[in-house]
Amino acid sequence: MQEQLRPLIAGNWKMNGTGAALEQLAHLKTLLEEAGEIASDVLICPPATLIHRAAQRAEGSPIRIGGQDCHAKVSGAHTGDVSATMLFDAGASHVILGHSERRADHGETSAMVSEKVQAALAAGLVPIVCVGETEAEREQGRANQVVAEQLAQSLPDDFGNTQIIVAYEPVWAIGTGRTPNIGDIAEMHAHMRALLVERFGAAGEAALLLYGGSVKPDNAGEILRTANVNGALVGGASLLANDFFSIIVVA
Ligand code: PGA
């Protein structure tokens, strides 16, 4: 029997927001203060340019700040890239890795994601590793196989020594307003749990399995009540504090 895991509700702002967006963070902080005790952990992953300011604004609140990607190396001749050490130094506690938009836009392979995971762990960040099938792969009946391969190759062996967080994000559900039916989410999350337990033992039991892809205030409750769903990775609905807060309170 799986122990009750404290859920994580993570917001992925993607390439959205300048300094003015920090007002949403401040508003979320106020909403959380007014709410008092909450049952989940809260994370916001703004663009890299906002991490330092966001971490300062979030101080004294339960909101943690994360990055959306990092380079696999600590430093060096990699123009435009940001290392895990830099994210940590700027105030991040977590980093999203292997998001499907990184895999598609930047040709990131699971092997590259695994190197980034190791860099993140070495820098003291908690990685959130994203996996998920395309619509064509689901239609071909290959969703379980694709996710199994991504998990096998994106997670380094020493991942089991840490807090494992994996986000299942079907590519076709991201930003589309479409979500898998609850049965499909339950099946995929059970599949991922079994694979993680098989490979990492107790750390797999304790892994947080987030669902991501068109999570909104009106579908969050049903999704978050699904077995083996231990939180959500929220894109569009994390940009406005009121929407994101509605998702946090149902968790
Ligand atoms: P969405 O994005 O909530 O806007 O679908 C989720 C994500 O890509 O993390």
- Note whether residue 157 is domain-resident: yes
Task: Please name the residue whose Cα sits nearest to atom 3 of ligand 1.
Answer: 235
Instruction: Phi first, then psi: give them for residue 128, nearest 5 degrees.
Output: -115, 110
CATH number for position 180: 3.20.20.70
Whether residue 213 has its Cβ less than 6 Å from ligand 1: yes
Average pLDDT, the chain: 96
Q: What is the distance between the alpha carbons of residues 93 and 103, in angstroms, rounded to a whole number?
A: 22
- Is 84 part of any domain? yes
Q: What is the pLDDT of residues 149-197, one digit of tens each?
A: 999 999 999 888 888 999 999 999 999 999 999 999 999 999 999 999 9
For the CA of 176, the nearest atom of ligand 1: 5
Residue 138's region, left for phi above 0, alpha for psi from -120 to 50, else beta, is: alpha
pLDDT at position 53, please?
98
Q: What are 48-62's pLDDT values in tens digits?
A: 999 999 999 999 999
What is the pLDDT at residue 1?
Answer: 41
The CB of 220 under 6 Å from ligand 1? The reply is no
Give the count of domains, the chain.
Answer: 1
User: Residue 144 pLDDT > 90, yes or no?
Assistant: yes
Is 45 near ligand 1, meaning CB less than 6 Å away? no
Report yes or no on 38 lying in a domain.
Answer: no
pLDDT at 68: 98
Domain membership flag for residue 211: yes
What pLDDT does residue 2 have? Answer: 54
Q: Using an 8 Å Cβ cutoff, are 121 and 128 in contact?
A: no
State yes or no: is 137 an active-site residue. Answer: no
- Would residue 43 count as lying in a domain? no
Q: What is the pLDDT of residue 4?
A: 82
**Does some domain include residue 3?**
no
The Cα 201–Cα 49 span in angstroms is 38
The tens digit of pLDDT for each residue in 32-50 reads 999 999 999 999 999 999 9
Residue 2 lies in a domain: no
CA of 77 to the centre of ligand 1 (A): 31
Is position 189 annotated as part of the catalytic site?
no
Q: For 222-228, which contacts have Cβ atoms below 8 Å and span 24 or more sequence positions?
A: 222/182, 223/179, 223/182, 223/185, 224/7, 224/250, 224/251, 226/182, 226/185, 226/186, 226/189, 227/186, 227/189, 227/190, 228/2, 228/186, 228/189, 228/190, 228/192, 228/193
Ligand 1 nearest-atom number relative to CA 238: 3
The pLDDT of residue 77 is above 70: yes
Q: Which of 15, 130, 233 to mutate to test the pocket of ligand 1 (most atoms within 8 A of CB)?
A: 233
What ligand 1 atom has the least distance to the C-alpha of 233?
A: 9
User: Could you please report the per-residue DSSP string of 92-106?
Assistant: -SEEEES-HHHHHHS
Q: Mean of the pLDDT values across residues 201-223?
A: 97
The rounded percent of the chain whose pLDDT value lies above 70 is 99
Q: What is the pLDDT of residues 95-131, one digit of tens each?
A: 999 999 999 999 999 999 999 999 999 999 999 999 9
Range of the domain at 64: 8-15+24-33+48-73+80-248
Please report whether residue 155 resides in a domain: yes
Q: Buried b / exposed e across 78-97, counting CB within 10 Å, b at 16+? A: eeeebbbbbbbebbbbbbbb
